[in-house]
Amino acid sequence: MNLAVLGAQWGDEGKGKIVDLLAPRFGVVARYQGGHNAGHTVYVSGQKFVLHLIPSGILHSGTTCIIGNGVVIDPNALMTEIEMLAALGIEVGQRLRISDKAHVIMPYHRDLELLAEARRGERKIGTTSRGIGPAYEDKIGRRGIRIGDLADCSLTGPLAGVVKENVAARNRLISGAEMDWQAVLGRLAASWDRLQPWVTDVSLALAEAREAGRAILFEGAQGALLDIDHGTFPYVTSSNATIGGVCTGLGVPPRAIDGVLGVVKAYTTRVGEGPLPTELTGEAGERLRESGQEYGASTGRPRRCGWFDAVAMRYAVRLNGLDALAISKLDVLDDLDEICVCTAYRREGKLLHDFPADSGVLASCEPVYETLPGWSSPTQGAQRETDLPSEARAYVARLEELAGAPAVILSTGSDRVDTILRDHAILEDWIGSSR
Ligand code: IMP
C-alpha cells in the first residue's frame, strides 16, 4: 500500500512525527512540495531532529528518501541539513534521491521576498523569508532554474544566460548592494559538485520502486489550508499542499495513492497572517502556546493558537479524500476543565457549515462552539487507548464524528513512543499489524 500523509490544517500538525513512526513500514518516503519553509520535528529517545527538506524517513536506515520535482530546493539549506544529520550519526549515503526537475531557490529569491513583503505593508503574508514564493513564481514564469540545469555552469552555457538575466532583474529592483551573476553561477557549480550524486529522474525511480513492490509513503509539507489553490488565499504558501500535489510534485499517477492520512492537532495553530476563526487571544491562547510549545520549527515565531475547527476539518477531508486522521498533541489539552470545538460559523446572522472561499468572508465569521468536558488528568505518553480517560476518548469520538473520518493514530507526546495506534481496519490495511 502506498500512503499519503499530509497536513489537514495550517501546517505544523505533527506530520514529521507521524511519518517517522510509519516510515519503517515503507521502503520509500517521498516529499512532493514546499521547501525549507517546512520544519518537521522528530524526537527519538529524547534526541531532537528538525528536518526541513529531507523526508522524515531518513532516520530509518532502510528507507530511501526522495525529494520530488514539486519541492523548491535551496542547495545550501539542503547541504546544511545533510551535514546536521551526519553530525548526529545519520549518513544519507545512497538513500537520498533528488529530482533533476526540482526548482532551485536562488539567493535573489530571498531578497525579492523581503521586498514584496515590505511593499505589502499591512497586507503582508508573514512568509518564512526562505525565498519560497519567488522561486515558485520563477517556475511558473518559466525563468526558473532546475537542479538538472546545474550540470552546465559554464560562463557561456544556457544556465549562465538565465542567471545573468535574473540577477540583472533583481539588481534593477533592489538598490544598494548589487548581486554579481558570475559569483552566483560559481556557487551553483559548487552546489552541483556536492549534490550531483543524488540527482535523478524521481518519477522513474518511484515507478521502479512500485514495480519492485516497495511501499511508498508520500510526505506532505504545510497543510491543506495553506494550499495555493484551496487555502486561505492570499495568506497561503505557493505550492499545492493538498493531495493533487503528490501527482504533480513527484510524477506519479493518482492510482499510485492507495490511502490518505490527514494529520491534525487536537486544537488549531497558524503562523503568519490570515484569518483564523477559532483564534484565542490573551491568556487562553498563551496557555495553549506554552503547554504545546507552539513556536515555529523553522523560524521560531510564536504560533497563533485556537480551538479545534471542525468546519475547516471537514473541508480538508473533502479536498483530500482523507480516509483517516492522526490526531496529535492530545496531551496539550490535559489541564483544561472544558474544551471547545467549533462546529459551524455564524456570519451576518446566518449559519455557515462550509468553509468559505474568500479570506475576507472567513475573517468576518464567528465560530459557533460546542463545549465538551475536559479530562484534567495526564494523558502524556499514553500508548494504549484504555490508558485514556473517558472524557479524552469522548473528545476524540466527537472530532471523528464532526470530521466524518476515523482517527486511527493518537499522539500523546513528542517522542516516537508516545503514540496510540488504534485497532482499526484501515491502519491494518495500510501498515499490516498495528502492533
Ligand atoms: P511561505 O511558504 O514562506 O511563502 O509562507 C507563506 C505562509 O505559509 C506564511 O503564513 C507562513 O507562516 C506559512 N508557512 C509556510 N511554511 C509553513 C510550515 O511549514 N508550517 C506552518 N506555516 C507555514
Is the CB of 356 inside a 6 Å radius of any atom of ligand 1?
Answer: no
Q: Is 66 exposed, middle or buried (0-12, 13-18, 19+ CB in 10 A)?
A: buried
9 touches ligand 1 (CB under 6 Å): no
Q: Ligand 1 pocket, 231 CB below 6 A?
A: no
- How far apart are the CA of 241 and the centre of ligand 1, in A? 11
End-to-end CA distance of the chain: 17
Residues with Cβ within 8 Å of 400's Cβ and at least 6 positions away in sequence, in order, are 325, 406, 407
User: Which atom of ligand 1 is closest in space to residue 273's alpha carbon?
Assistant: 10
User: What DSSP character marks residue 40?
Assistant: E
- Which atom of ligand 1 has the smallest separation from the CA of 274? 10
Would the CB of 127 count as within 6 Å of ligand 1? yes
Q: Is the CB of 128 under 6 A from ligand 1?
A: yes
17 phi/psi in degrees, rounded to 5: -65, -45
DSSP secondary structure code for residue 106 in this structure: P
* Contact criterion met (CB below 8 Å) for 351 and 344: yes
pLDDT of residue 344: 98
Measured torsion, CA atoms of residues 136, 133, 218, 36, in degrees rounded to the nearest 10: 120
Ligand 1 contact, 259 CB (< 6 A): no
Protein residue whose Cα sits closest to atom 9 of ligand 1: 127
> Is 40 known to be catalytic?
yes
Q: Which atom of ligand 1 is nearest to the CA of 301?
A: 12
Verify whether ligand 1 is closer than 6 Å to residue 220 (CB atom). no
35 CA distance to ligand 1 middle (Å)? 10
| Inter-residue contact 36 to 12 (CB < 8 Å) | no
**Neighbouring residues of 264: CB distance < 8 A, sequence distance ≥ 6:** 8, 9, 13, 308, 313, 316, 325, 326, 327, 328, 399, 403
Ordered domains of the chain (ranges, CATH) = 3-94+201-434 (3.90.170.10), 103-198 (1.10.300.10)
Q: What are phi and psi of 118, to 5 degrees?
A: -65, -40
Active-site residue, 12 included? yes
- How much is the pLDDT for 54? 96
Q: Which of 20, 36, 40, 111 is catalytic?
A: 40
Amino acid, res. 57: G
Largest CA distance in the chain: 70
Q: 134 CB contacts (<8 Å, ≥6 apart)?
A: 108, 109, 110, 112, 113, 116
- 127 alpha carbon – ligand 1 mean position (Å): 6
State in Å: Cα 268 to ligand 1 middle: 15
CA distance linking residue 119 with residue 102, whole number of Å: 28
pLDDT score for 53: 97
Quick check: CB of 125 below 6 Å from ligand 1? yes
Say if residues 242 and 34 touch (Cβ distance below 8 Å): no
DSSP code of 415? B
- Say if residues 211 and 256 touch (Cβ distance below 8 Å): no
Angle between helices 132-140 and 107-120 (to 10 degrees): 100
CA 238/CA 105 separation, integer angstroms: 13
pLDDT of residue 433: 58
Sign for the pseudo-dihedral over CA of 161, 164, 167, 171: negative
Find out whether the beta carbon of 237 lies less than 6 Å from any atom of ligand 1. Answer: yes
**Residue 227 in contact with ligand 1 by CB distance below 6 A:** no
pLDDT of residue 43: 86
Locate 105 and state its grid cell.
Answer: 531557490
Catalytic choice (12, 74, 149, 323): 12
User: How far apart are the C-alpha atoms of 184 and 175, rounded to whole Å?
Assistant: 18
CA–centroid distance, 109 to ligand 1, in Å, is 16
Measured from the CA of 127, which atom of ligand 1 is nearest? 5
Per-residue pLDDT of the chain in tens (435 residues, 90 and over written 9): 999 999 999 999 999 999 999 999 999 999 999 999 999 888 888 888 899 999 989 999 999 999 999 999 999 999 999 999 999 999 999 999 999 999 999 999 999 999 999 999 999 999 999 999 999 999 999 999 999 999 999 999 999 999 999 999 999 999 889 999 999 999 999 999 999 999 999 999 999 999 999 999 999 999 999 999 999 999 999 999 999 999 999 999 999 999 999 999 999 999 999 999 999 999 999 999 999 999 988 889 999 999 999 999 999 999 999 999 999 999 999 999 999 999 999 999 999 999 999 999 999 999 999 999 999 999 999 999 999 999 999 999 999 999 999 999 999 999 999 999 999 999 999 988 544
DSSP assignment of 288-325 = HHHHTT-B-TTT-PBPEEE-EEHHHHHHHHHHHT--EE
Dihedrals φ, ψ of 6, to 5°?
Answer: -140, 165
Which residue minimizes the CA distance to atom 16 of ligand 1?
Answer: 37
Q: Which of ligand 1's atoms lies nearest the C-alpha of 271?
A: 12
**What pLDDT score was predicted for residue 434?**
47
Q: Residue 390 C-alpha to ligand 1 middle, in angstroms? A: 36
Binding site membership of 322 for ligand 1 (Cβ less than 6 Å): no
Pocket probe for ligand 1: among 53, 226, 227, the residue whose CB has the most ligand atoms within 8 Å is 226
Q: Which residue puts its alpha carbon closest to atom 2 of ligand 1?
A: 237
